[in-house]
Amino acid sequence: MPLRVPVQERIRFERVALGALLLAAAALYVWSPAGRTFQPYYAAAIRSMAHSARAFLFAGYDPAGVVTLDKPPLAFWVQAAAAWAVGYHWWLIAAIQAAEGVAAVFVLHRVVRRWAGPATALLAAALLVLCPITTAISRDDTPDSLLVLILLLAAYCATRAAEDGHAGWLAGAGALTGLGFLTKMLVAWAVLPALAAAYLTAPVPRRRKVARLALAGVVMLAVSLSWPLLVSLWPGDKPFVGSTGDGSIWQLILGYNGFGRLVGADTGSLSALGGTLGTDFGGSPGPLRLFDTELGGQIAWLLPLALVSVAVAAWQGVRRRAGTARRRAGWLLWGCWLIVYGLVFSFTGGIFHGYYTSLLAPAVAAAAAAGLVTCAAWYRAGAKAGVLLPVAIAGTTALSFLFLSRTPGWLPWLRYAVVVLGLAAALGVLTRRRYPALIAGLVAILAGPAAYVLDTAAAEPDVLAAADPSAGPARDAAAGLGATLKGGDAAAYAAFMDSAATLTAGQDEMLRYASAKAPGLPIALAVEGGSYGADPYLIHRNATVVPLGGYLGLDPAPTAGQLAAWVHGGRARFVLLPAVFLHFKGSGGGSVVPGSSPIVERIAWFTRQCRPVPAAAIGPDSASAGVLFDCG
């Protein structure tokens, strides 16, 4: 006779277990034994937005308001508001990102608990904590951690709406999806089929469902378009919208962050790099992309288990009409979430980074947890379907062995231990040794991703890795960049990017000289080549330093003519050409920059029209930072 545990004891255990999971997540996300490095592009913008109302409103990168970020503002508003209140500190950015990650674990638990009960909810929360890419984004400063949290809140609202058909909860899901758009634009809308599918099970007439879904859609559009319309209709001067060709917010939405991501069809300043970057950083598009060497270890450990769980649930729901409306709503929510984002990330042909797959993590965790708990229940009940439990353990263990074999020099014993433990668990299940087999099977399934998570939390800081966060054994973050750039300049440019979080003595001398010679100018120093040259100044000094050309220097912000107008109008005087660009002669023959682009025209203009300042006049270390041009 099974032991019956009192309700209060079960509730107490659940609370303690959830608290332990949240504490473990917090420790993983804030643990930083060797310091922390963030994506300097975003870190610099956060400081600018904390000190400039203009930069805050428009998601401006620099305090002078020359160019915006290539993302919408919501995630950076949160960070900048905190920096304004308590001061700009990197530990503050780390704390905000960690809090968002921990909150996402909690919200997933609450959503899954309403759908499938406390046991499945605790397992789903644990699987999200042990998802490698979730740890990676929660330790970085990208907007993805906030986006995951917002979409999980939308899922919670949709789940509540599906229970009783309440229009308010559904409108809340629409508003939150709109906030997701203001966090990372169109990718947030991919969750809409999942939210709508869950609501289709609500106990209200069909016409009322359609009307309420339409109302939620209107709310979603109103929230989504509020900031783009403000930027588009702003009557006065405003920053150039970064990573576009014409400064249009709509080109950023539909081009660089829209079709440019999906198929590489972008007319913006980075369009030439789109397809190449997508392949270099995210692998080649195709049905097995999520399992390749770039993405498999980030997200796919439990992906087959999640997909099979959804397929079995769909078969039961369609053929047998099994389960309550609440159960069907949950499977529709997570199944559609899993399939839609899985297809999008598998076949995206433009700019694609592996950390985008963090949006898959909640659905993988929820579906895989429900599948494991269901298989265990069938097994304990002696049902024929209980045979799926050893199959799930063996299949997931085999996949772990494959992923761990891709880094043979890293913990070489682990893959063999996983296989032995998984086989022992599968055999134990078949021989009805229940609890030891179940525990061994769970350890075998989770050992690989758990090792990736711990490795990520203990990783040394690195700017290139922060710009493209990934989990697990370190890989050469410059490899993708090297494949994109030409010739021997790839290594030099990678080193230039990797130093963007550190202000060198030579760079500090450049800024001090320019500020002393031209005090009070709106732009103390203009740095050619984009944000990676300006990042150190904005992160470490409260000065009006601006990048020429936006993120990578390819934006027409400013054009050569506008730069000349800045000089003649007394807005700027000094332009710094970083050392990585010194070989460039203005003909387009350099390999770091394209042969015909705004950066070519700007460099050609100020190298002809402005006077290089001798390094001896600036400081002993200034030559290492590049050449300073005096256009006064």
**Phi, psi for 19 (deg, rounded to 5):** -60, -40
- Contact (Cβ atoms closer than 8 angstroms) between residue 514 and residue 537: no
Average pLDDT over residues 2-11: 71
- Name residues whose C-beta falls within 8 Å of residue 475's C-beta, 6 or more positions apart in sequence: none
pLDDT at 589: 40
Query: Which range (133-142, 397-406, 487-496, 603-612) has the least confidence?
Result: 487-496
pLDDT category, 346, cuts 50, 70, 90?
Answer: very high
Q: In angstroms, rounded to a whole number, what is the distance separating the alpha carbons of residues 426 and 314? A: 26
Q: In angstroms, rounded to a whole number, what is the distance separating the alpha carbons of residues 221 and 605? A: 44
The length of the chain, given as a count of residues = 632
Question: Is 523 part of any domain?
Answer: yes
Question: Is 345 part of any domain?
Answer: no
| Residue 436 pLDDT greater than 50, yes or no | yes
Query: Which range (106-110, 148-152, 492-496) has the least confidence?
Result: 492-496
Residue 226: Cβ within 10 Å count: 13
Which range scores top for mean pLDDT: 276-285, 291-300, 373-382?
Answer: 291-300
Query: Which range (307-316, 353-362, 456-465, 550-559) has the least confidence?
Result: 456-465
- Show the CA angle centred on residue 138, arms to residues 441 and 45, nearest 5°: 165
pLDDT at 309: 94
Number of structural domains, the chain?
1
Residue 71: Cβ within 10 Å count: 23
Residue of 133, 98, 119, 117 lying closest to 24 (CA atoms): 98
3-class state of residue 554 by DSSP:
coil
Q: In angstroms, rounded to a whole number, what is the distance separating the alpha carbons of residues 462 and 453? A: 17
| Residue 606 pLDDT greater than 70, yes or no | yes
pLDDT at 590: 43
| Residue 583 pLDDT greater than 70, yes or no | no
Domain that holds residue 610: 489-630
Q: In angstroms, rounded to a whole number, what is the distance separating the alpha carbons of residues 95 and 210? A: 41
pLDDT at 466: 87
Q: How far apart are the first and last CA of the chain?
A: 90
Average pLDDT over residues 462-466: 84
- Show the CA angle centred on residue 599, arms to residues 522 and 621, nearest 5°: 65
pLDDT tens track for 119-147: 999 999 999 999 999 999 999 999 999 99
Residue of 119, 114, 541 lying closest to 330 (CA atoms): 114
Question: Is 506 part of any domain?
Answer: yes
Question: Is 70 part of any domain?
Answer: no
| Residue 479 pLDDT greater than 90, yes or no | no
| Residue 5 pLDDT greater than 70, yes or no | no
Inter-helix orientation angle 531-540/40-51, to 10°: 50
| Residue 537 pLDDT greater than 80, yes or no | yes
pLDDT at 474: 63
Question: Is 211 part of any domain?
Answer: no
pLDDT at 588: 41
Instruction: For the chain, give percent helix, strand, coil, nearest 5.
Output: 70, 5, 30
Question: Is 362 part of any domain?
Answer: no
pLDDT tens track for 380-435: 888 887 788 889 999 999 999 999 999 999 999 999 999 999 999 988 887 867 78
| Residue 483 pLDDT greater than 60, yes or no | no
pLDDT tens track for 16-63: 999 999 999 999 999 875 577 899 999 999 999 999 999 999 999 999
Mean pLDDT over all residues of the chain?
A: 90
pLDDT at 293: 92
Cis geometry, peptide bond prior to residue 558 (ω within 30 degrees of 0): yes
Alpha helix (H) residue ranges in 468-574? 478-484, 489-498, 505-517, 531-540, 560-568
Average pLDDT over residues 538-546: 94
pLDDT at 586: 44
Q: In angstroms, rounded to a whole number, what is the distance separating the alpha carbons of residues 206 and 497? A: 55
Question: Is 542 part of any domain?
Answer: yes
pLDDT at 217: 98
Distance between alpha carbon 422 and the CA centroid of its chain, in Å? 32
Question: Is 23 part of any domain?
Answer: no
pLDDT tens track for 170-211: 999 999 999 999 999 999 999 999 999 999 999 999 999 999
The tokens describing 443, both together, are 């350890």
pLDDT tens track for 81-101: 999 999 999 999 999 999 999
pLDDT category, 629, cuts 50, 70, 90?
Answer: very high
pLDDT tens track for 349-372: 888 999 999 999 999 999 999 999
Residue of 136, 219, 149, 215 lying closest to 180 (CA atoms): 149
Buried b / exposed e over 527-561, threshold 16 CB at 10 Å, is bbbbbbbbbbbbbbbebbbbbbbbbbbbbbbbbbe
